[in-house]
């Protein structure tokens, strides 16, 4: 079915016009690209703003120019030169120039939220209105990826100033759609920006975003055709929607992977053998089946999923092996098992996984007590490393560095498991400054192997990224990175 609709999409000429209603589970907190942290905010922002580069539709991790017509990188990987498209206009009619690019990057750094991505920027120069030269202190391998990140958007300085520095509810963008109205928790209305610099795009006249939190309500809304696109389809609803005529359900392996985190600081879990025993004792297939209805992709090695260039296909834990697990427990001196607590936030899938893990670990003598905690308390506890086990997830996004560095490098803030392996540290540091992709691929493959063997986390699976839509929606790309910028190319066959 999916194939069929893809074939159709390519064979017909796009039609302009129409109004599209799209629904996400939650609403954004802010429209300010440089402050936003949630995916919901990102989806609004990426349709309102342009970035220097962008992800290529239908790929995972490949980039193409957006505002940048072309770009070059110096030999040493420290100087980036971007040529901008000419005649680009902001929604208020102001021209977009290299000054705005410089201003935006400086604003990102000032706003702190994503400052670390630009911490090695030495200077930004604007030799003319359409040229930007960024000089780094040292090579940063994922730098282009960072620039393509939808929330590292180019904003209009004037608008920022008009709004006293806050873009929470304002539109300072130059993207395909412009803001009409945002009523929090009700709707966000975007309309076509007629002066969008890519001629002929977007096709849609209007896009309406509606947050619907309740799952039943959301699928019902789609099936009643109150909405055209539903993002983030839950695994259990996939079958249900596929069985309906007139809808397309499209899935790709995403970047959101879930794991069983093991705090390596203290107790039995500090023992590598115990952690490995746990890794062997977990039945990922069964978890996938029960929790995700078989819709997720089981992780038997490192966390970077199939389809990503940095995926490592060494099967370290190919199948559950209780014998091995028990053996390892015995070697570690915990033949009789022990008790641990497992903290989890009220996210239903993770709560479910925790319950099953509890049952699975019982078989090697580990008694797990599951504690659900209200999200902010939970994340607070994780940050303070105040947990023994946890089931939680991580959005890897695009570059392998984003996948691994912050969570596995010694001492990094998100290294909640308190994991430390000098060899891994070395590899991760190296991967950061290596520009050549082939070389990086090897580095990250090694790192993933080491990490999987050390098992500070038991990688469970990568979730699919699934959207469902009415079949008259064409050229809507379901991207692993959860972006929806393809709305720029989407059209309605009505």
Partner 1 sequence: MKEFWYRFYKNKLAFSGLIIMVVYAILALLAPLIAPYGPLEMHPDQMLSAPNSEHIFGTDQFGRDIFSRIIYGTQISLKVGTISVGISLILGVTMGVVAAYYGKWVDSLVSRTTDVLFSFPDILLALALMAVLGTSLTNVMIAIGIVYTPIFARLTRGSVLSIKNSLYVEAARSIGVSNLQIVLRHILPNVMAPIIVQATLSFALAILTEAALSFLGLGVEPDTPSWGIMLNEGKDFMETAWWIAVFPGLAITLAVLSLNVMGDGMRDALDPHLKDEVM
Partner 2 sequence: MVKFILKRIFIAIPVLFGISIIAFFLVRLVPGDTVTAMLGANYNEEQAEVLRSKYGLDKPLMVQYFIWISNVLQGDFGESTFTSQPVISAIMERLPVTIELTILSLLFAIIIAIPLGSIAAIRRNTLIDYFASFFGLIGISIPRFWLATIMILLLSLKMGRLPSGGFVSFFEDPIANLQCMVMPVIAMGTSVGAVIMRMTRSTMLEVIGQEYIKMARAKGVPNSLLVWKHALKNALIPVVTVIGIQAGYLMGGTVVIEQIFSLPGIGLLALQAITNRDYALLQGTILFIASAFVIINLFVDIIYAFLDPKIRY
User: Tokens 């991790």 correspond to what residue?
Assistant: 61
Cβ contact 94:156 at 8 Å: yes
Collapsing DSSP to helix, strand or coil, 324 comes out as helix
State yes or no: residue 240 binds partner 1 (CB under 8 A): yes
The beta strands (E) that lie in 25-130 are given as 53-55, 63-65, 68-73, 79-84, 121-128
CB closer to partner 2, 380 vs 439: 380
36-65 footprint of partner 1 as x/- string (CB under 8 A): ------------------------------
Q: What is the crossing angle of helices 322-332 and 272-281, to 10°?
A: 160
Which one, 316 or 354, has the nearer CB to partner 1?
Answer: 354
Contact residues for partner 2, defined by CB under 8 A: 29-30, 37, 112-113, 115-116, 166, 168, 183-187, 210-214, 216-218, 220-221, 223-224, 226, 374-377, 379-380, 383, 413-414
- The H or E element spanning position 378 is helix 375-383
Q: How far is the CB of 350 from partner 2 (least distance, A)?
A: 16
Q: What are the start-end ranges of the H helices in 140-214?
A: 143-148, 157-162
Q: Find all residues with CB under 8 Å of 2, minimum gap 6, and list them.
A: 248, 249, 250, 251
Of the candidates 273, 358, 385, 449, which one interacts with partner 1 according to CB under 8 A?
358
Cα gap 18→268, rounded to integer Å: 60
Q: Decide: is 332 part of the binding site for partner 1 (CB under 8 A).
A: no
Residue 446 near which of partner 1, partner 2, none (CB within 5-8 Å, type-dependent): none
CA 49 to chain centre: 18
Does position 486 interact with partner 1 (CB under 8 A)? The reply is: no
| Contact map string, positions 287 to 306, toward partner 1, x by CB under 8 A | --xxx---------------
- Please report how close the Cβ of residue 238 comes to partner 1 at its closest, in angstroms: 11
**What's the angle, vertex CA 104, arms to CA 170 and CA 151, rounded to 5?**
65
User: What distance lies between CA 108 and its chain's CA centroid?
Assistant: 19
221 binds, among partner 2, partner 1, none (CB under 5 to 8 A by kind): partner 2
CB of 384 to partner 2, least distance (A): 9
Which one of partner 1, partner 2, none is in contact with 217 (Cβ closer than 5 to 8 A by kind)?
Answer: partner 2
Q: Distance (Å, rounded) from C-alpha 138 to C-alpha 159?
A: 33
d(CA 349, CA 322) in angstroms, rounded, equals 24
Contact residue for partner 1 among 351, 395, 433, 450 (CB under 8 A): 351
Q: Which does 213 bind (CB under 5 to 8 A by kind): partner 1, partner 2, none?
A: partner 2
> Is 318 or 383 the residue whose CB approaches partner 2 more closely?
383
Give the integer Cα–Cα distance in Å for 184 and 169. 10
Candidates 234, 399, 446, 475; binder of partner 1 (CB under 8 A) is 234
Which token pair is 273? Answer: 């053998």
At closest approach, how far in Å is the CB of 399 from partner 2? 16
Taking CB under 8 A as the criterion, which residues in 367-386 touch partner 1?
369-374, 377
Binding partner of residue 359 among partner 1, partner 2, none, CB cut-off 5 to 8 Å per kind: partner 1
Closest separation in Å from C-beta 413 to partner 2: 7
Going by DSSP bridges, is the β-strand pair 457-470/247-262 parallel, antiparallel, or unpaired? antiparallel
Tokens 């209305």 label which residue?
189
Distance set, CA 376 to CA 214, 261, 382, 396 (Å): 20, 18, 10, 21
For partner 1, the binding residues in 402-431 under the rule CB under 8 A are none
Residues that bind partner 1 (CB under 8 A): 215-216, 234, 236-237, 239-240, 286, 289-291, 344, 346, 348, 351-352, 354-356, 358-359, 369-374, 377
């Amino acid at each position: 079915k999916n194939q069929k609709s893809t074939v159709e999409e390519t064979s017909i000429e796009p039609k302009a016009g129409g109004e599209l209603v799209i629904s996400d589970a939650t609403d954004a907190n802010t429209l300010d690209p440089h402050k936003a942290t949630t995916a919901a905010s990102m989806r609004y922002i990426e349709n309102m703003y342009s970035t220097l580069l962008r992800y290529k539709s239908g790929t995972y991790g490949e980039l193409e120019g957006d505002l940048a017509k072309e770009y070059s990188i110096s030999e040493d990987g420290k100087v980036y030169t971007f040529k901008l498209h000419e005649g680009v206009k902001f929604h208020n009619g102001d021209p977009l120039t290299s000054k705005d690019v410089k201003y935006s990057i400086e604003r990102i750094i000032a706003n702190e939220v994503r400052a670390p991505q630009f911490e090695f920027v030495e200077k930004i120069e604007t030799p003319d209105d359409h040229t930007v030269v960024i000089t780094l202190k040292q090579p940063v391998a994922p730098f282009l990826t960072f620039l393509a990140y939808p929330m590292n958007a180019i904003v209009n300085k004037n608008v920022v100033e008009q709004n006293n520095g806050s873009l929470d509810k304002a539109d300072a963008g130059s993207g395909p759609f412009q803001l009409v109205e945002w009523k929090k928790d009700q709707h966000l209305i975007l309309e076509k920006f007629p002066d969008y610099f890519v001629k002929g795009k977007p096709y849609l006249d209007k896009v309406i975003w509606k947050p619907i939190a309740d799952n039943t309500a959301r699928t019902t809304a789609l099936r009643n055709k109150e909405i055209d696109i539903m993002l983030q389809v839950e695994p259990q609803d996939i079958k249900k929607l596929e069985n309906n005529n007139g809808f397309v359900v499209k899935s790709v392996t995403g970047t959101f992977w879930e794991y069983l985190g093991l705090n390596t600081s203290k107790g039995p879990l500090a023992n590598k053998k115990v952690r490995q025993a746990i890794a062997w004792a977990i039945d990922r297939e069964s978890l996938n089946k029960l929790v995700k209805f078989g819709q997720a992709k089981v992780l038997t090695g490192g966390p970077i999923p199939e389809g990503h260039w940095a995926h490592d296909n060494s099967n370290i834990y190919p199948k559950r092996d209780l014998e091995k697990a028990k053996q390892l427990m015995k070697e570690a001196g915990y033949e009789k098992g022990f008790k641990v607590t497992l903290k989890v936030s009220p996210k239903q899938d993770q709560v479910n996984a925790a319950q099953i893990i509890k049952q699975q670990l019982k078989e090697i003598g580990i008694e797990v007590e599951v504690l659900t905690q209200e999200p902010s308390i939970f994340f607070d506890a994780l940050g303070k490393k105040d947990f023994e086990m946890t089931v939680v997830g991580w959005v890897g996004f695009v570059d392998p560095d984003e996948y691994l560095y912050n969570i596995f490098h010694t001492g990094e803030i998100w290294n909640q498991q308190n994991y430390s392996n000098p060899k891994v540290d070395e590899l991760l540091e190296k991967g950061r400054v290596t520009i050549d992709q082939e070389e990086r691929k090897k580095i990250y493959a090694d790192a993933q192997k080491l990490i999987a063997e050390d098992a500070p986390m038991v990688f469970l699976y990568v979730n699919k990224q699934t959207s469902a839509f009415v079949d008259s929606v064409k050229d809507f790309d379901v991207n692993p990175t959860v972006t929806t910028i393809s709305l720029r190319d989407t059209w309605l066959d009505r």
